Amino acid sequence: MSNKEIPYKIYLEENEMPKQWYNVRADMKKKPAPLLNPVTKQPITEDELSEVFCRELARQELDDTNAYIDIPQEIIDFYKMYRPAPLIRAYCLEKKLGTPAHIYYKFEGNNTSGSHKLNSAIAQAYYAKQEGLKGVTTETGAGQWGTALSMACSYFDLDCQVYMVKCSYEQKPFRREVMRTYGANVTPSPSMTTEVGRKINEEFPGTTGSLGCAISEAVEAATNQEGYRYVLGSVLSQVLLHQSIIGLETKAALDKYGVKADIIIGCAGGGSNLGGLISPFVGEMVRGEADYKIIAVEPKSCPSLTRGKYAYDYCDTGKVCPLQKMYTLGSGFMPASSHAGGLRYHGMSSVVSEIYDQGLMEARSVEQTEVFAAAQEFARIEGILPAPESSHAIKVAIDEALKCKETGEAKNIVFGLTGTGYFDMYAYQKFNDGIMGDYIPTDEEIEKALAKLPEM
């Protein structure tokens, strides 16, 4: 431990920013299971993947041997407009909690998309442009990914078509307008514009949609248009790779002040911010260099890690994407409408799933109302109005800090504050009015969805 006094905000200099992404799969002795072709159920090839994804991204998706991958200069230049992201010492929160713990959070909300998603959006748009494509299609849940991709596409002059989960489309009209301001085309999902959308509408009349449905629609739209590819904002290993910038910067900032993290906490939807944050730390663990307590936090309404099954499953409701081995609730699981749309996904990154399965990480699930209580406490003392998704990590960071208060241990707690909640005021309104509910699926509901896992 160094004696340097730690500032409220630890910034890296521009020349201290990472120039390579870190691919934790390369250092894992037991690798995540391979993606399978949904028809043949054989490991998918780069050529097959390239029918849906850009070629370079397909390559990154299948790469589990190169630990470091150069970040192209154009992407570094874009990163410089909003990165490095600060690592903030939550002095005020520590004082308020009366804890001896030291709390740090990596703040990814400092860009118009309001979240970490821009880190991968800009990379994916760059590779699409390099390949000479006209545009990309995608899904968005809460809207952060769609916004991030719209920004990235307008920067590289690409067409951007977004299928937005219907409940978010209705709850967050301003998100839609931000996307349109950046030139994107936004369609509520399930829509009647794709075959799979029409089918889902028929099977689940009145459904407010899910990420799984929107993914299927976006994939169909990409494969039906010349010069288009599909891009995805989470779950995939390529996205985790791009998000490793979060963890690399966090580690560099901690190292600068000689701080060793004890507990690292992140919220888990598809697993990209968590995976990116923990990658360099897990790398140290699997290489036998250090040990950390890592905690994934998910909503009780969509508990993939804590109540799901580790099995091959479809990534989307329409069953067109590759099969992935992951902790899943079943691709037919329709999570209750919740206010943390970004965490409303039935599955989990295969890398995060394997890390969890190897016991390198714990998982906890938390209820919506306790998450908002933590969000409010954080907003009032640290100033930042957090996204509901990010607030899952805040909740557990506070819990861990309070445990330290009991034991008197001055642990270093680091958590990912993935974004801001300015477009979530409808949710905050419900919380402030005391009418927010907690929905927890029954065992029967989960079993029913799990019964439909593909036969292997």
Ligand X SMILES: *Cc1c(COP(=O)(O)O)cnc(C)c1O
Q: Which residues bind ligand X (CB under 6 A)?
A: 115, 117, 142, 144, 234, 267-274, 342-343, 387, 389-390, 418-419
**Token match 């370079």: residue?**
56
Assess contact for 123 and 78: CB atoms under 8 A: no
**Considering beta carbons, is residue 129 or 176 the nearer one to ligand X?**
176
Which CB sits closer to ligand X, 188 or 299? 299
CB of 142 to ligand X, least distance (A): 6
Q: Which is nearer to ligand X, 115 or 124 (CB)?
A: 115
Complex with ligand X: residue 273 or 353, whichever CB lies closer = 273
C-alpha distances (whole Å) from 22 to each of 43, 130, 432, 447 are 24, 22, 41, 37
- Would you say 116 or 411 has its CB closer to ligand X? 116
Closest CB 74 distance from ligand X, rounded Å: 24
**Exposed, middle or buried by CB within 10 Å (0-12, 13-18, 19+), for 92?**
middle
Residue 326: half-sphere exposure toward Cβ, Cα within 13 Å? 29
Least distance CB 122 / ligand X (angstroms): 15
Residue 444 exposed, middle or buried by CB count within 10 Å (0-12, 13-18, 19+): exposed
- To ligand X, the closest distance from the beta carbon of 202 in angstroms equals 29
Residue 270: CB minimum distance to ligand X, A: 4
- The backbone region for 71, taken as left when phi is positive above 0, alpha when psi lies in -120 to 50, beta otherwise, is beta
Dist CA 372 CA 398 (whole Å): 13
Q: How far is CA 236 from the centre of its chain?
A: 10
User: For ligand X, which is the closer residue by CB, 135 or 416?
Assistant: 416
* C-beta closer to ligand X: residue 75 or 121: 121
Task: Tell me the closest approach of the beta carbon of residue 116 to ligand X, in angstroms.
Answer: 7
Smallest gap from Cβ 117 to ligand X, in A, equals: 6
Cα radius of gyration rounded to whole Å, the chain: 20
Q: Residue 335, preceding bond cis, omega within 30 degrees?
A: no
Cis preceding linkage at 280, omega within 30:
no
The set of residues, in sequence order, having a beta carbon less than 8 Å from that of 292 and lying 6+ positions away, is: 261, 262, 263, 264, 278, 281, 282, 284, 285
CB of 410 to ligand X, least distance (A): 28
Torsion of CA 201, 207, 208, 214, to 10 degrees: -40
Cβ distance to ligand X smaller for residue 99 or 328:
328
